[in-house]
Every structure is written in structure tokens, then in C-alpha cells.
Amino acid sequence: MRIVIVDDSGARASVLEEGLREAGYDDIHFVPPRGAFVARIERMAPDVVLMDLGSPSRDTLEEMLLVSRALAKPIAMFVDQSDETMIGAAIDAGVSAYVVDGLRKDRVKPILELAVRRFTAFSRMQNELDEARTALANRKTIDKAKAILMAQRGLNEGDAYGLLRSTAMNQGRRLVDVAEALITASSLLGGGAA
Amino acid sequence: MTLVRAAFLPLTDSAVLVAAWEKGFAEAQGIELELVRTTSWATLRDRLVYGQVQAAQMLAPLAVAVTLGLSQQPAALSAPFKLNSNGNMLVMSGEFAAALEQNLPARLADPLGTGHDFAAAIGLFRRKPIIGIVHRFSGHALMLRYWLGSAGIDPDRDVVLRVLPPSLTVEAMRLGEIDGFIAGDPWPAAAIAQGLAEAVAIGARIWQRGVEKVLALRTDWMEANAETVDRLLLALAQAARWCDDPANRGELAGLLARPSYVGEPAELIEAGLAGQIVPRAGTPAIGQPDFLLFHREATAFPWRSQALWIYSQLVRWHQAEPAAAVEAAAGAVFRPDVYRRALGSSAEPMPGASMKLEGAVGAPTGVGAYRGALTLGPDRFFDGRVFDPERLGEYLAGFTQARG
């Protein structure tokens, strides 16, 4: 069974490809949705096309599937239209799958399930990465605010942090927001925010 | 508060949905309108059909096509409210447009002449020109086909129509993957501003009141949630009124310019809202006051005759079957009855009829309304044809004769 993965993100495509290979599928091709990508897909004559639901190129792909003379059988979206849970899971995970008409459902279902699991895992990984980045950025902001207080009010590090925290608590704001406000104010006043 | 999720694409004509939420019209009706930004019509369609969202800013022909089972999973959709009329423009690369009339205001004022020049330009071009359309089932594609067809150009034979979403059109022009495209604002204006293309035809001059985006709902959801639908339509009607008011243009453009909505420069969006069309980078703007309509002339009213015009064009281009049952199903996608029910006690002017002749109004004309004064603006097709929904067969036969 020939599977084509259309994806902008090389990382996500690799995660998916790896999963498919582990499950025993070996005829897998990767096509980024750029330039004449539909012509490439057409030449490959795939049985299954997997694509990110968020990709703006889905309209282009669907049009090709509709008018293609090279593909012997029309390709339709999703495996089993009657399986609402499966469709819901696929949309939530951001997977769209196009499958050659007539391909047996039990042959395609494991592929879609695998794609859903891998897509979900990938977006979880991305979220964790984003959260880690945000945490790091917040810490840097707070450190900078602490340094300003230490320099201008002659506080030690512990007291500077304590002052930021009690201000945040009194004002019902997040620590990082108070720190940002302090940095902005200090730079406006020509203080040592650098 | 009732939560309603609505999918939209980054386009200026998402304005009514955006204003309904940002300006508090939805909230005042007890609706928490969660706007879901989507980058392809396919995904917008799937989100609506599979119930991830309850409402969508949809291409009117796509709502008809999904209902007729022509675009993936069939689902009965309803359009009880139109989000705008017009707003499209066809732009082509300077290389292609070099063979057209070089007096730009004259080129745009005469779609008939420009259509014939376009046919000649195809012959002079080094290959079949590739024209981007946002979807086969879009008002833009139908209007482009209509315009090309009147000049004897067969859109399925003499040009290559390539589908790509609005947000990718400008980049595709830059890479030379397409020679031009027809799309909704602000994308054609953005391509012109970047010197990649120039204006060739304005939608409002092909059909003066062209049907564009509709509020699409799943018919089963609409029927099960009538009370929510009524409140949603009230909010949208107020939002549309706000969007059409010239005093609010600057603020509206600012809202739409946010990356979470359209994400293009506010000045570009505001020029489109004001009907100021710059046909080529560095040339003076041309005024097109009806470039984009949200509210005046009861723009939101879903005339059944307009759904039937869409059907007539789908049949003309062999995309839908000519059959009485299909025609009835297509016409029934537009729901003036729901519009009347929801807005019956509001201040909106209410047309007395649900169908009209399309393309028959030459100058602003007062028409029968249950309440309020309703004036319809000129709605001519550039070739002067009139669509009578009761004589659809004759209308279609007219095109065949012209082609033969």
C-alpha cells in the first residue's frame, strides 16, 4: 500500500513516517505542499494521502483528486464515513486522510489511527516545547527586574524577589507582568534597565 | 451565554463575524461567538460538516455544493444570512496585462471590451495562462467563468484554472506559479501593492451585486437551535450595519488587520472597505463605491433566486446535474424564511418576496417591503443578461447558443 504524507513540517512527517514503518508499511513518500506538488502526487498514484488539516494547500489537493485522470479511482476523504468517533478524533488531531475508493476499510483504519496518535503526540511535544520556552523567557524577565531593584534600591536578591512577589500578590497580577512593568518604567525613566 | 463556534478564513469579508464578537453585538444577544481561523475552504467545510463548529463564513456556491453532495461528505447546509456582496477582483501579472488596454480606468470600466482583449492576450501569451481561483465552488470562479465565457473563452480549455487558498495567492504570484488570480480582498490589493500584479476586472463590474460569502449552518443544527439562530442573526445584522457605516471603517480595518484575523496592513484593508481600488502600484486609486457591501440594500437577505443562479452556473459548467430535484435542493439552501423569523421584530427592512429577477435593476429602485423603505441598488450583469429563476432552462439555452 502506497502512502503519501503531505506536510510542511519535516519533523511531524518524520514522526509519522517512523510510526508507519514500525507498523510494517514501507511504501511511504513525503511531499512538501509547495510548487507543483499535486503533479508529483499524481505520478506516485498513492492509495492513501495523509495531510495536516491545518495546511492551506488542502483545497489544491482536493481539486487535483477531483479532476485527475491519472489516478484510476477517485479518492475520498476519510476511511469510514459512518464512524463518527474516528472522524472526530481525526479532526481533533488535525489529520485529514484521502483514500482510494474501494480500498478495504479494515486495511486503512489502522493507518488513520496511527496517524491520529502520532499527530497528537507531535502537537503535545510542541506544546511542551512552547511552555518550556515561555518559562525560560519569564525567568529572564524576572531576573532583569530583580537586578533593577538590587541596583536602585540597594536590596539583596532575596529581598528584591520578595518585593516583586508581594507587589504581584497585592495587585492580583502575575509576577512576570509586574516584572515587565518595572522594566518598562525603569527604561522610560532612563534607569539601568539595560 | 450560548457558545457558538464559527469558522472563518482570513479575508476582509469575515468583517461581520469579527465585528459581531469584537464590538459586543453577539454578547448583547447572549452569544459567546468563538471565531476559529482556518486557512483552507476544505477544512472550514469539514469543521462545519463534522460539527467542530456550528457556523461558518462560507463561499455561497460551496454551501450549495456540499448540500448537493458535490464536495466530499454530503450534508444538508442552510444559509439564512449573507455576510456580504461583492469584494472580488481579478488581477494578472504585468507581463500578461501588457496586451490589455493600458488606460487602467478605461480597462476596468469596460469588462466587455477587456474580456475580448483578454481572449487576444491568451493568444499572444507564451503558454496557456494559469489563473488562480480559491475554489471551484466559489463566487469568484463562477464570475470568472461567466466573464471569460462571454468573450468566447472556454475556461476549461483555453486557460488553466488552479485552485489555491486566498492567503497563498500573493506568494504564488511572486514565485511565478500563477499568472494571475481572482480572490476576495485584501489579497488582490496586496499583490498589486507589492508590484506583482495589476487589476484586470472588478467583481462588482461583472455582476453589480454578486453573491459572495454566506453564514452557513448545518440544517439539522439550525432546526434544533432555532432560538440561538435568531439571536445570532440579530447580532450579525447589527454587526453588518456597523461594518457598512463609513465612520467605522478605520476601526474595522484595525480589527481585521490583527494577526488573529486577516493579518494584512490596516491601510490596505481600509482602502478596500472604502472602495478605493489602486489598479497598479503607484497609480491613483479608482473609486468603486459598491466594491464591497455588508448591510445596505438588505445585502444580508438570502434571495432564493441567487442560490438558483449559482445552480444554473454549476449546470452550465457541467458540475451539477440538470434535474428538477437537484434544482429544488439547491434553491432551498438559501433560507429567507429563517431570516424573516429571526429579524421580523427588528428594524431591518424586510423584502416582501423571496425571489427576484437577477440583473434587472438598472438604477436604484424601491421595492415592496413588509417594513421600512427598501431600495435595491443596480444589480446588472455586464453583458445585460437577466436571470429569471422561473425560466432557468431558457437562461441556460441562451449561453449554449452564444457559444455555438
Sign, CA torsion B73/A4/A60/B45: positive
Is the link from the previous residue into B186 a cis peptide, with omega within 30 of 0?
Answer: yes
- The answer to whether the CB atoms of A77 and B46 lie below 8 A apart is yes
Q: Where are the alpha helices (DSSP H) in chain A?
A: 10-22, 37-44, 58-67, 84-93, 105-153, 157-171, 175-188
Task: Answer for the pair B90, B144: CB distance below 8 angstroms, yes or no.
Answer: yes
Domains and their CATH numbers in chain A = 3-128 (3.40.190), 131-188 (1.10.10.10)
Q: Where are the alpha helices (DSSP H) in B25-90?
A: 25-28, 41-49, 60-67
Amino acid present at B183: A
- The answer to whether the CB atoms of B175 and A63 lie below 8 A apart is no
Is the confidence at residue B403, as pLDDT, over 70? no
d(CA B258, CA B272): 16
H/E element, B316: helix B304-316
Nearest to A35 among B52, B135, B177 (CB): B177
What number of CA atoms fall less than 13 Å from residue B386's CA on the CB side? 9
pLDDT of residue A194: 44
> Pairing state of beta strands B369-371 and B350-351?
antiparallel
Cell 455561497 locates to B60
d(CA B147, CA B153): 9
- The three cell numbers of residue A160 are 528584591
CB atoms within 10 A of CB A168: 17
pLDDT, mean of residues A39-50: 89
Domains and their CATH numbers in chain B = 2-84+210-263+295-343 (3.40.190.10), 88-209+265-287 (3.40.190.10), 351-403 (no CATH)
Minimal Cα–Cα distance from A26 to chain B, Å? 29
What number of CA atoms fall less than 13 Å from residue A29's CA on the CB side? 17
CB atoms within 10 A of CB B383: 17
Is the confidence at residue A140, as pLDDT, over 60? yes
What residues in A contact B163, CB-CB < 8 Å?
Answer: 59-60, 62-63
Size of interface A-B (CB pairs under 8 A): 60
Is the confidence at residue B143, as pLDDT, over 90? yes
Task: Answer for the pair B164, B172: CB distance below 8 angstroms, yes or no.
Answer: yes
> Pairing state of beta strands B213-218 and B198-202?
unpaired
* Cβ-based burial of B297 (10 A; exposed 0-12, middle 13-18, buried ≥19): buried
d(CA B325, CA B329): 6
Tell me the CA distances in angstroms from B171 to B131, B132, B160, B194, B392, one per residue in order: 14, 12, 18, 11, 40
Tell which of A40, A42, A55, A58 to mutate to test the B interface (max B CBs under 10 Å): A58
Tell me the CA distances in angstroms from B71 to B104, B137, B173, one per residue in order: 38, 9, 27
What residues in A contact B134, CB-CB < 8 Å?
Answer: 59
**CA angle B310–B376–B188, rounded 5-degree value:** 55
**CA angle A110–B47–B59, rounded 5-degree value:** 135
Out of A1-15, B29-43, B216-230, B260-274, least confident range: A1-15
Tell me the CA distances in angstroms from B48 to A1, A58, A156, B218, B359, one per residue in order: 31, 16, 58, 7, 32
Nearest CA in chain B to A65: B72
d(CA A139, CA A179): 10
What residues in A contact B42, CB-CB < 8 Å?
Answer: 58-59, 62, 96
pLDDT of residue A34: 83
Minimal Cα–Cα distance from A134 to chain B, Å? 20
Nearest CA in chain B to A62: B42
pLDDT of residue A133: 87
Task: Answer for the pair B307, B201: CB distance below 8 angstroms, yes or no.
Answer: no
What residues in B contact A84, CB-CB < 8 Å?
Answer: 50
The 10s digit of each residue's pLDDT in B4-14 is 999 999 999 99
pLDDT, mean of residues B34-54: 94
Nearest CA-CA partner of B42 in A66, A82, A122, A74: A66
Tell which of B47, B72, B178 to mutate to test the A interface (max A CBs under 10 Å): B72
Nearest CA in chain A to B164: A60
Torsion of the alpha carbons at B149, B151, B154 and B156, rounded to the nearest 10: -60
What residues in B contact A55, CB-CB < 8 Å?
Answer: 39-40
- The three cell numbers of residue B310 are 449559482
Higher pLDDT, A185 or B77: B77
Is the confidence at residue B366, as pLDDT, over 70? yes
d(CA B125, CA B11): 31
If pLDDT is split at 50, 70 and 90, which confidence band does A80 have?
A: low
pLDDT of residue B324: 96
What residues in B contact A91, CB-CB < 8 Å?
Answer: 46-47, 50, 52
Cα B188 from chain centre: 14
The 10s digit of each residue's pLDDT in B262-296 is 999 999 999 999 999 999 999 999 999 999 999 99
What residues in B contact A63, CB-CB < 8 Å?
Answer: 135-136, 163
**CA angle B8–B9–B15, rounded 5-degree value:** 70
pLDDT of residue B337: 97
What number of CA atoms fall less than 13 Å from residue B126's CA on the CB side? 3
pLDDT, mean of residues B57-86: 96
pLDDT of residue B253: 98
Task: List, as ranges, residues 45-84 from A with C-beta within 8 Å of B.
Answer: 53-60, 62-63, 66, 76-78, 81, 84
If pLDDT is split at 50, 70 and 90, which confidence band does B404 have?
A: very low
pLDDT, mean of residues A152-178: 90
pLDDT, mean of residues B72-87: 95
Cα B382 from chain centre: 17
pLDDT of residue A52: 87
Minimal Cα–Cα distance from B181 to chain A, Å? 14
pLDDT of residue A78: 64
d(CA B343, CA B339): 6
For residue A178, give the 3-state DSSP assignment: helix
Task: List, as ranges, residues 141-170 from A with C-beta within 8 Å of B.
Answer: none
For residue A5, give the 3-state DSSP assignment: strand
Cell 429544488 locates to B328
CB atoms within 10 A of CB A110: 14
Residues in CB range of B128: below 8 A, 6 or more apart: B122, B158, B159, B160
pLDDT, mean of residues B208-230: 97
| Summary mean pLDDT of chain A | 85
Nearest to B47 among A59, A84, A91 (CB): A91
- The three cell numbers of residue B38 are 482556518
pTM over 0.90: no
pLDDT of residue A82: 63
Minimal Cα–Cα distance from B389 to chain A, Å? 29
d(CA A70, CA B77): 32
The 10s digit of each residue's pLDDT in B148-207 is 999 999 999 999 999 999 989 999 999 999 999 999 999 999 999 999 999 999 999 999
Nearest CA in chain B to A59: B42
**CA angle B153–B157–B161, rounded 5-degree value:** 90
pLDDT of residue B402: 58
- The answer to whether the CB atoms of A55 and B164 lie below 8 A apart is no
d(CA A104, CA A145): 62
Percentage of residues in chain B having pLDDT higher than 70: 99
CB atoms within 10 A of CB B318: 9
Is the confidence at residue A166, as pLDDT, over 80? yes
Nearest CA-CA partner of A22 in A114, A119, A106: A114
Cell 491520529 locates to A116
The 10s digit of each residue's pLDDT in A81-118 is 667 777 778 888 888 888 877 777 778 888 888 888 88
pLDDT of residue A54: 86
If pLDDT is split at 50, 70 and 90, which confidence band does A193 have?
A: very low
The 10s digit of each residue's pLDDT in B97-107 is 999 999 999 99
pLDDT of residue B251: 98
Is the confidence at residue A192, as pLDDT, over 60? no
If pLDDT is split at 50, 70 and 90, which confidence band does B133 have?
A: very high
Nearest to B40 among A35, A56, A91 (CB): A56
